[in-house]
Amino acid sequence: MDSTFIFATGIENSYPTINEGKKRIDETEKCGHYKHWRRDFECVEELGIRFLRYGPPLHRTWVGDRRYDWAFADEAFAELRRRGIVPVADLCHFGVPDWVGDFQNPDFPALFATYAGAFARRFPWVQLYTPVNEMYVCAIFSGRNGWWNEQLRSDRGFVTALKHLVRANVRAMRAILEVRPDALFVQSESSEYFHADSPAAIGPAEAMNSQRFLSLDLNYGRRVDSGMYEFLTDNGMTRDEYHFFLDSHLRHHCVMGTDYYVTNEHRVAPDGDVREAGEVFGYAEITREYYRRYRMPVMHTETNIAEGPGGDEAVRWLWKEWANVLRVRNDGMPVVGFTWYSLTDQKDWDSALRDDVGHVNAVGLYDLDRNIRPVGRQYKRLIADWSSVLPTQSYCLVLPLDMPEEHATEPAVAAKSARLRRHAVRLAKAVHGASPERA
């Protein structure tokens, strides 16, 4: 069992559809991972990283109800295990297969839970999961902004996508726990803030600042306030659907992943128009707000910035984000990990994947020729310097992780369940101040 601080990166694997579903944007393909996956895993090792946010392409793997093509996943996950790289299995990243349709499909949660269970049985040594990535962002971009998948522009479209995404996440967690009782779930979610541009914008800004919490409120079974309850029910959520979330008690299996980019803070106009604000409060202040709300273990699950014309912009951003992590950790917040996302440069994220033009975004630890960038060298030094310090010189909790080389192929379910129960009690007392039943 390993109790190390989680230094991670990820393979960008978004795959939403655009142009009314006619065009799929497959970042795994655009960034060359299907071709260079062995080299990519080698790069992870070169950096001294042991944790990788990684998932098979859902639209290629999940070919029908209870029908799967595991060929690529089998090879890739076997290689990760051989190298001792711990995957945080990223099962749904902004898109679904064509046969499912989109996130307005009410059958999606049940179908996806079946897929998640099948994945867990296929790879029983995998312990860490992000079943559904950035549920809030996916619902906004698909249901309200009209950018991806169903491309709707309405509150009802947003609420429908959100309730299906979160329900899918909850049901997937349950399905995985049936196979792996000590599974841990990292809810990688965007940490946002909306600033009012003027007194007349306070109302819409307050509404948006409440809506940003909805995905995690529902996922963790937290009661929403009366305004958000009316918002949800006015836009199609039924009383039974709401109580499904309240009755879910899985938070003691979870780590709250907070993603932060320079684009996560927004300025709101009186008419509700939103534009980027840049970094105003920063990661530490916004994460404190999320932590005060949920009292969960925290992991900084995504950040990056473009290398820029000076060549050192990403290095300076890495230093700033790491300083923010250390600040909140030293203040007693249970921060268990940090992630630079992703391993390589990406393409077309400057247009939020709406334009399929192949524009390279220089945000990776490596470029697309797999040459290390300055931020990659700096992250490697950071990991080497801090890995031996954080587990022993911190008041924060650590996670009970089974590393790939320690996992038994046929674990004793009763023993693992007992260990999970002991961990849940310790975690609840340390973090939530409550028993698991009340958490």
Dihedral pair phi/psi, residue 437, rounded to 5°: -65, -35
For residue 409, the model assigns a pLDDT of 52
For residue 422, the model assigns a pLDDT of 55
Helix axes 374-386, 313-330, angle to 10 degrees: 20
Dihedral pair phi/psi, residue 276, rounded to 5°: -65, 140
Give a three-class secondary structure readout of the chain.
CECCCEEEEECCCCCCEECCCCEECCHHHHCCHHHHHHHHHHHHHHCCCCEEEECCCHHHHEEECCEECCHHHHHHHHHHHHHCCEEEEEEECCCCCCCCCCCCCCCHHHHHHHHHHHHHHHCCCCCEEEEECCHHHHHHHHHHCCCCCCCCCCHHHHHHHHHHHHHHHHHHHHHHHHHCCCCEEEEEEECCEEEECCHHHHHHHHHHHHHCCHHHHHHCCCCCCHHHHHHHHHCCCCHHHHHHHHCCCCHHHEEEEEECCCCCEEEECCCCCEEECCCCCHHHHHHHHHHHHHCCCEEEEECCCCCCCCCCHHHHHHHHHHHHHHHHHHCCCCEEEEECCCCECEECHHHCCCCCCCCEECCCCECCCCCECHHHHHHHHHHHHHCCCCCCCCCCCCCCECCHHHCCCCCCHHHHHHHHHHHHHHHHHHHHCCCCCCC
For residue 419, the model assigns a pLDDT of 53
Residues of the chain where predicted confidence (pLDDT) is lower than 70: 1-3, 391-398, 406-439
Q: Give the span between the Cα atoms of 14 and 164, in whole angstroms.
A: 18
Cα radius of gyration (the chain): 20
Cα angle 50, 56, 58; round to 5: 145
For residue 439, the model assigns a pLDDT of 35
Q: Which of 142, 45, 39 is nearest to 93 (CA)?
A: 142
For residue 436, the model assigns a pLDDT of 36
Residue 141 backbone zone (phi > 0: left; psi -120 to 50: alpha; other: beta): alpha
For residue range 277-320, list pLDDT tens digits in order. Answer: 999 999 999 999 999 999 999 999 999 999 999 999 999 999 99
Contact 379, 340 (CB under 8 A): yes
For residue 435, the model assigns a pLDDT of 38
Contact 85, 45 (CB under 8 A): yes
Q: Which amino acid is at 152?
A: L
For residue 242, the model assigns a pLDDT of 98
Contact 27, 346 (CB under 8 A): yes
What is this structure's pTM? 0.92
Within 10 angstroms of residue 323's Cβ, the number of other Cβ atoms is: 12
Instruction: Tell me the CA distances in angstroms from 312 to 98, 293, 321, 383, one per residue in order.
Output: 41, 35, 14, 18
